[in-house]
């Protein structure tokens, strides 16, 4: 079981699974579908089936000046992405936190991210192990 988790984790978080250049981020922002919730904004851009999913977490100093708070939001997003990665179709995803995430727990944020991915049409409910 640890072996399969490691492989999924490598695909979900390796260098090829990140949106890095500004042109890609701008493309997702301009052509992607925005889904806003209480804790975060998720922007999804569907990609061709031969590509795999990529993500970026946009957490600026405007969100909070302290790195501890920004890193906590980043960790919440990383865990949500890890849990959803195996059940989504190829897409590029941006996750942007909102202020209430500062006091939220994973059990609050995960359903919201899953709802946003479902609304964007990239989360496959049949493969989703954490479906409600």
Write phi, then psi, for 94 (nearest 5 degrees). -110, 135
The pTM (predicted TM-score) of the whole model is: 0.84
Q: What angle do CA 58, 17, 73 make, to 5 degrees?
A: 30
| pLDDT in the model for residue 124 | 84
Asked if 63 and 99 touch (Cβ cutoff 8 Å), the reply is: yes
| pLDDT in the model for residue 129 | 52
Q: Does pLDDT of 8 surpass 70?
A: no
Reported confidence tier of residue 10, pLDDT bands at 50, 70, 90: low
Q: Does pLDDT of 7 surpass 60?
A: no
DSSP of 64-108: -SSHHHHHHHHHHHHHHHHHHGGGB-SEEEEEEE-GGGGG--HHH
| pLDDT in the model for residue 5 | 42
How does pLDDT run across 11-34, given as a tens digit for each residue?
777 888 899 999 999 999 999 999
Architecture of the 2-120 domain = 2-Layer Sandwich (3.30)
| pLDDT in the model for residue 6 | 43
Average pLDDT of the chain to the nearest whole number: 88
């Amino acid at each position: 079981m640890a072996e399969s988790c490691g492989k999924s984790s490598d695909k979900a978080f390796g260098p090829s699974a990140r949106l890095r250049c500004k042109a890609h981020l701008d493309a997702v922002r301009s052509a992607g579908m925005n889904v806003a919730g209480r804790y975060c904004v998720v922007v999804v851009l569907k990609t061709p089936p031969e590509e795999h999913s990529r993500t970026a977490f946009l957490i600026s100093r405007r969100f909070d000046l302290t790195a501890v708070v920004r890193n906590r939001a980043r960790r919440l997003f990383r865990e949500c992405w890890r849990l959803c990665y195996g059940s989504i179709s190829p897409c590029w995803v941006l996750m942007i936190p909102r202020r209430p995430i500062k006091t939220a727990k994973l059990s609050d944020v995960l359903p919201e991210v899953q709802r946003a991915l479902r609304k964007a049409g990239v989360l496959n409910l049949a493969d989703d192990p954490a479906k409600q």
